[in-house]
Amino acid sequence: MQLENLNKQEEENIPEDSHVLHFWQPCKFEIDEDFDFVNDNVIFNTFSNLLYLVAYPLLIFINKFFFGFKIEGKEILEDIDSGKVTISNHVHPMDCTMVGLANSPKKTFYTSLENNFKIPIVRRIIKLLNTVPIPNDIKYTKNFMNSIDNLLQNSKTIHFYPEGSLWPYYDKIRRFKNGAFDFAVRNNVPIVPMVFKFNKQKRLLDILKPKTTITLVVKEPIYPNKLLPKKEAILDLKERAYTVMCNEVK
């Protein structure tokens, strides 16, 4: 289902955090008190690094050939040495790979709904690509948050989709949840907004080029306001990032 052509009434009838795509989730996956949100096992990391080496050139080819993918502002990410929280609109099943290419050669850690770890094949891939599950049960939230905090304090990159769900090819920015901005304020690291934009090709005779190309635009980092109380700082950071991304799609 593509959402870029919804009229205003149809758009208003869809809750902004609803899930448009639904995947088969037959596999068992549970988070308990002993669950390691970030796997630091040597063998696991070896296989994860090998997957990155194999996947990187393959994903460059796939995203360029099938989606005409390009990145604007990659140098902005390269200039940030501290931990950072990157955010983007969630508009394509492959957009996580595009975020990874933008952040390369640095490794990206992703956050994803716990239920995505119940999808066959996908669950293995996202685990090896260092995806951290967001627990459904609130009693495990503290361990999840501590794991993310530790990554940021060790200069890692964490990517969030603050809209919370995937809307394929949607060309507006939906309202954000607080999670990404809470972590940025707690750890005093920047938010780096990134915006996926679509361009419909007009060359009808060139069948080898994708009809709609994808560009990822990286914006300048936005830092928390240290003068504000925590709750106000989170809302302020969220609103500034939202404004930047809305202005970019316009």
User: What is the pLDDT, as a whole number, of residue 9?
Assistant: 45
In a domain, 20, yes or no: no
The predicted model scores a pTM of: 0.87
Domain that holds residue 113: 37-249
Backbone angles phi, psi at 86, to 5 degrees: -95, 145
Residues 6+ apart with CB under 8 A from 166: 19, 20, 21, 90, 91, 92, 93
User: What is the pLDDT, as a whole number, of residue 103?
Assistant: 94
Token pair in block for residue 209: 């080029």
Backbone angles phi, psi at 182, to 5 degrees: -60, -45
Smallest CA-to-CA distance from 15 within 189, 142, 177, 190 is with: 177
User: What is the pLDDT, as a whole number, of residue 97?
Assistant: 92
User: What is the pLDDT, as a whole number, of residue 7?
Assistant: 46
Report whether pLDDT(68) > 80.
Answer: yes
In a domain, 199, yes or no: yes
Q: What is the pLDDT of residues 231-246, one digit of tens each?
A: 999 999 999 999 999 9
In a domain, 2, yes or no: no
User: What is the pLDDT, as a whole number, of residue 45?
Assistant: 82
Smallest CA-to-CA distance from 108 within 134, 90, 126 is with: 126
User: What is the pLDDT, as a whole number, of residue 211?
Assistant: 76
**Are the CB atoms for 151 and 78 separated by under 8 Å?**
no
Q: What is the pLDDT of residues 69-128, one digit of tens each?
A: 999 999 999 999 999 999 999 999 899 999 999 999 889 999 988 888 898 888 888 887
In a domain, 30, yes or no: no
| CATH number, residue 216 | 3.40.1130.10
Q: Are strands 84-88 and 108-113 parallel, antiparallel or unpaired?
A: unpaired
Q: What is the pLDDT of residues 156-214, one digit of tens each?
A: 999 999 998 899 999 999 999 999 999 999 999 999 999 999 998 765 556 666 778 99
In a domain, 124, yes or no: yes
In a domain, 11, yes or no: no
Smallest CA-to-CA distance from 25 within 133, 130, 143 is with: 133
User: What is the pLDDT, as a whole number, of residue 224?
Assistant: 98
In a domain, 139, yes or no: yes
Backbone angles phi, psi at 87, to 5 degrees: -135, 155
Question: pLDDT grade, residue 54 (50/70/90)?
Answer: confident
In a domain, 244, yes or no: yes
Q: What domain count does the chain have?
A: 1
Q: What is the pLDDT of residues 16-49, one digit of tens each?
A: 666 666 677 888 888 988 888 998 888 888 888 8
